[in-house]
Structure 1
Amino acid sequence: MTQSGTPARKRAFPRVLGPERAFLADTLRTETTGGLLLLAATVVALVWANSPWQDAYRHLSELQVGPLTVEAWASDGALTLFFYLAGVELKRELLVGTLSKLNEAVVPVVAAIAGMVLPAIIYLAVNLTAPSGRTEGWAIPTATDIAFALAVLAIVGSSLPSALRAFLLTLAVVDDFGAILVIAVFFSHGFHLVPLLAAIALIGLTYVLQRRRVRTPFLYVPIAIATWWFMHESGIHATIAGVALGLVTRVVADAGEKHPPAERIEHRLRPWSAGVAVPFFALFAAGVTLSGSAVRHLLTDPVAIGVVAGLLAGKAIGVFGGSWLTARFTRAELNSDLAWRDVAAVSVLAGIGFTVALLIAQLAFGADAAQVERAKAAVLLGSVAAALIATLLLARRNRAYAE
């Protein structure tokens, strides 16, 4: 209530102050560097896969190393670290961040959900009406790549309000959680109960060790590896092990404790995720062939058209529309530092799918190599187009704030 007795208006995009501002700035710096490394790995993959040495690229991707191929290690192994940090971020946001306050969480949550549902609807509309359409790729355009998106925002948006960056980060956390649910529910195959129970037991053990304030990595590292292996053997995608372990990691500091375990672990692991794990995945996921015939097929393939339309139109309309409708029909209002044109620019930026979109493309069409190639090429095309359009819009808004 205000002093006049009228109900206080809820902020759709809360201000970011104190420790949250410092943490956000640190995260943005790391993710920006990771985004640039991700871009570099993507360029290397594309050049290599379309060079005279493309056979070497394919042979290396298919090389068996222990129980998995190099490509499988990249998608099932390296990305587990990325998803572990996503689980930690989600738990932090739920307990002490923006998502812990319902009135502040509602807008980015609705925006993220709308930004996942509408791209899926657009993809399905294209593929259900096309004679050669394939509906199993519906989830490909639903994901937003936070590393790329934050890299673009940091490069062209130095004068933009911090509330806009906070909104994008919160949006991405909810989007990651949605992607995790999609992978776990729709892209798990050959379910086996005993390995899953073993993985759940180890996740429970991790939770107990966290509750008892055990800190030694000599326990946690073997448990994490075993959890990953049992999750992989259960038929559920192995990266879900990373998410689960992140969700049971303690994110709130005890009295007298300077930093909670999640913050210490994240400080050590985030550079490995952003600098090694995700670029390693991109190196073996983004190597699609872009020959003349492949491009011609891309222009007529319903899957590719659905992915590009979902990323460009679905994400932009979904995120912006979800934000505007929530603010319009609830008591939430836009932060006074922002204009709806800022939100529109970031909504286009959310169309950068990349990492998780490439992973879902592999899972959706894993048995059809040609279709996987076309779906991945569409993800790259849609993501690049979204990045370029968002860059122009954000640069214009950045100049307006700098004046």
Structure 2
Amino acid sequence: MDNDRASLPPLRVALLGCGVVGSAVARKLTADAADLAQRIGRPLELVGVAVRRLDRDRGDLGLDPALLTADAEDLVTRADIVVELIGGIDPARELILRAMEHGASVVSANKALLAESGPELYAAAGEAGVDLYYEAAVAGAIPILRPIRESLAGDQVHRVIGIVNGTTNFVLDAMDSTGAGFVETVERAQQLGYAEADPTADVEGFDAAAKAAILSSLAFHTRVSGAEVHREGITEVSARDIAAAKDMGCTVKLLAICERMTGEDGIEGVSVRVHPAMIPLSHPLASVREAFNAVFVEADAAGRLMFYGQGAGGDPTASAVLGDIVAVARNRVAGAPGPGESAYADLPVLPMGEARTRYHISLDVADRPGVLAQVAQVFSANDVSIETVRQQVVRDEDDLDAAPRAYLIIVTHTAPDAALATTVDALGDLPTVHEVVSVMRVEGQH
């Protein structure tokens, strides 16, 4: 650091939240202070850590207890950089807006807030001339947002598909490797600390949907909110589904899929969805195990890119937060904010029915002549082409006089999701179909 910069006052950092990630960030700011100062060109000074309860036992954080405060509203007014790690919508939004009004740049890991109020926060940052960075909001330690926003800024991204929730990936991976059911696997994940006591946000896909909204907004220069993302969780995935995927050389993953595509009316738009899907074992995402995350990006000039790493945890997420802190601190030293929101494309978000995908369908049917022809007629009537059909005869050993039954396992060619869903509904109405046993999308074979 040159002498002129060494004499400059430190950049003041305020930390909102002191949980697993917040405490890791605080430790790194203190332990790596000298190195960070060299990288930035000015030292950083932690001026306060906002917590809900001052009397809570926090163990040995290695911090001066005087830094802890319950007055977050005051703290954000006396900082150059505010790091928001409390999560949720309010009071996080109000505190971020207050910080920007007082000239502070903001670093956040709050995917739910960004998915709901990103445009409002970007507008406030632009008006105040400050930064809003949020690399840690998606995929933990994996550097994915800045590459999309900056490294691929001169390219056109066509598709982003990823595993962005570690809890669900751990559950599905464990179901695949052990043959266990959903409920018992979630209980095991909770015991090991991979799932929260209330895992709803993860297993119902809310967490992944918020991240998909952020990814698609950046990739396609279009504002996408979490509410516009089609969302299905993994609670209905059964051991039978996992076994069926294995039979066709696939595995089941909860995928966030963001695509730039042309709708049925010829208008270009964005399709954003989160749901479980079978993917072939040859696909790079199929090898992502346990609680790891990975994001696969397809761009016009860059081609296919894969980003892989730890998607959660105190230290990995703190790494992404600190990267943002260094970036916004360098911008303040340089005297200009970094890139802000790019929403110039303003593409419509297409309904799920227009997304093009494939279905794996398992039917319990009467085992008699003509049934397959009836089933095929339903597919033809909805303009859905069948790729493969496999039949398994079912024998009831306890009732030899029972009417013969069979399982039909059908994999379709690619078609609009609306046509596929209508086909499934019509199949369920056939008198020869006892039950539509399972339906799952198939991805990764375009």
Query: TM-score by structure 1 length?
Result: 0.22
Greater relative contact order, per chain length (Cα 8 Å cut-off, separation 6+): 1
Over alpha carbons, which structure has the higher Rg?
2
Identify the structure with the greater helix proportion: 1
Identify the structure with the greater strand proportion: 2
